[in-house]
């Protein structure tokens, strides 16, 4: 497939870490190509200069553009993807502008939101968690939010990728709830790298403040906790389970390591539970479980999730590792866009991990 045969994608929020990962993955994607990288603050600047790791690829010819310029490039009958890596609260209005413009010219736009703006089914739920009005409440019904592995097929024209913590915890807990193997009570403790705080340094999140240190933050009040309850309800007959979540800042850059504790309804050996989980995820290429605790380096740079299962009596502990920038954001978003475009989930996402970094 030539460059002209690859379907175009507009990337919103062009200068952040997640955008950099989106661009890294799209450079080698066999069926998708970058049509525009939107950043008002960097308009006209070189994309490869902002992300030197992309130098020597087709990214050398890319420049950041305004949202208006990206909209001006929409064409009638064009099938185009949109990946939004813009900040929470700002995304909804921007996506509404692009989607409205696409509808006006007759373009077939399919969007994936990587912010929190379309993770909730109604504006009141979003406003309750994020403390601000929703920017496009009329669009909420057009989006499906979920970890791709937990949603069958395509339910809407657009999709929203859950938060990185939510992705790691949900991948661990969802199959056990869905198979009725555990009580509807989940305790999760997760450690994230500094890249999860974004590119702009701030007190307490900047890597020099985190190096050689570790601390909990927002215990039992983190905004991903209600998101976890909502998504795990789908595995629990529509009833939200009790979820208690304690996040931690870790002294590394990439990755999330989550430890999820649940209570088994009946005792089962760990190897039997591993087999059940792998059967649950057998149609997807990215999630695998073993009885060995996984390591972050097993997944860094990939769209994979590794689960480690341990059981003693009625106590079940599942450790879950993902790359927060890939499976928890850019890779999960491209996985969703692949599906919306009619491609296999793993297209362009099969590169192996880094191993050492």
Q: Show the domains of the chain with their CATH numbers.
A: 3-145 (3.40.50.720), 164-323 (3.30.360.10)
Predicted pLDDT of residue 197? 61
- From the list 164, 189, 279, 306, the catalytic residue is 164
Mark whether 164 is an active-site residue: yes
Predicted pLDDT of residue 194? 83
- The total number of residues shown for the chain amounts to 357
Round to whole Å and give the CA distance between 271 and 274: 5
Cβ(38)–Cβ(10) below 8 Å: yes
Identify the CA nearest to 132 among candidates 260, 223, 245. Answer: 223
Structure tokens at 285: 């290429």
Round to whole Å and give the CA distance between 309 and 288: 11
Q: How far is CA 51 from CA 24, 46, 285, in A?
A: 9, 9, 29
End-to-end CA distance of the chain: 32
**Sign, CA torsion 306/34/89/233:** negative
Per-residue pLDDT of the chain (357 residues; tens, 9 = 90+): 455 689 999 999 988 999 999 999 999 999 999 999 999 889 999 999 999 999 999 999 999 999 999 999 999 999 999 999 999 999 999 999 999 999 999 999 999 999 999 999 999 999 999 999 999 999 999 999 999 999 999 989 999 999 999 999 999 999 999 999 999 999 999 999 888 766 666 666 666 777 788 999 999 999 999 999 999 999 999 999 999 999 999 998 899 999 999 999 999 999 999 999 999 999 999 999 999 999 999 999 999 999 999 999 999 999 999 999 999 999 999 999 999 999 999 999 998 998 887
Q: How far is CA 184 from CA 130, 191, 216, 264, 320, in A?
A: 26, 23, 24, 10, 19
pTM exceeding 0.85: yes
Predicted pLDDT of residue 1? 46
Residues 6 or more apart whose Cβ sits within 8 Å of residue 290:
274, 306, 307, 308, 309
Q: CA-based angle 3:36:340, to the nearest 5?
A: 70
């Amino acid at each position: 497939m030539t460059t002209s045969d690859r379907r175009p994608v507009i990337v919103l929020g062009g200068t952040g870490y997640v955008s950099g990962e989106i661009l890294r993955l799209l450079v080698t994607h066999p069926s998708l190509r970058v049509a525009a990288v939107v950043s008002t603050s960097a308009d006209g600047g070189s994309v490869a200069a902002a992300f030197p790791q992309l130098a020597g690829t087709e990214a050398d010819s890319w420049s950041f553009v305004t949202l208006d310029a990206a909209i001006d490039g929409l064409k009638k009958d064009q099938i185009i993807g949109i990946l939004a890596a813009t900040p929470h609260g700002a995304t909804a209005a921007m996506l509404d502008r692009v989607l409205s413009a696409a509808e006006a010219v007759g373009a077939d736009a399919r969007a994936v939101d990587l912010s929190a703006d379309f993770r909730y089914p109604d504006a009141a739920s979003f406003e309750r968690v994020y403390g601000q009005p929703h920017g496009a409440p009329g669009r909420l019904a057009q989006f499906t939010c979920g970890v791709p592995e937990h949603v069958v097929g395509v339910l809407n024209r657009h999709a929203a990728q859950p938060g990185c913590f939510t992705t790691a915890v949900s991948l661990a807990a969802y199959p056990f709830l869905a198979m009725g193997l555990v009580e509807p009570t989940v305790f999760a403790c997760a450690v994230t790298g500094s890249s999860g705080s974004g590119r702009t340094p701030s007190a307490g999140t900047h890597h020099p403040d985190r190096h050689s240190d570790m601390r909990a933050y927002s215990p039992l009040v983190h905004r991903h906790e209600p998101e976890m309850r909502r998504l795990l309800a789908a595995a629990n007959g529509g009833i939200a389970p009790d979820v208690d979540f304690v996040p931690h800042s870790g002294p590394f850059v990439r990755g999330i390591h989550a430890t999820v504790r649940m209570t088994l309804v009946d005792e089962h050996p760990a190897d039997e539970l591993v087999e059940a989980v792998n059967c649950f995820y057998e149609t997807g290429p990215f999630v695998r479980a073993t009885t060995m605790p996984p390591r972050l380096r097993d997944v860094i740079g990939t769209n994979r999730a590794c689960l480690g299962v341990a059981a003693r009596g009625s106590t079940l502990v599942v450790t879950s590792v993902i790359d927060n920038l890939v499976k928890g954001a850019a890779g999960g978003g491209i996985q969703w866009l692949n599906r919306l475009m009619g491609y296999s989930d793993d297209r362009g996402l099969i590169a192996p991990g880094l191993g050492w970094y």
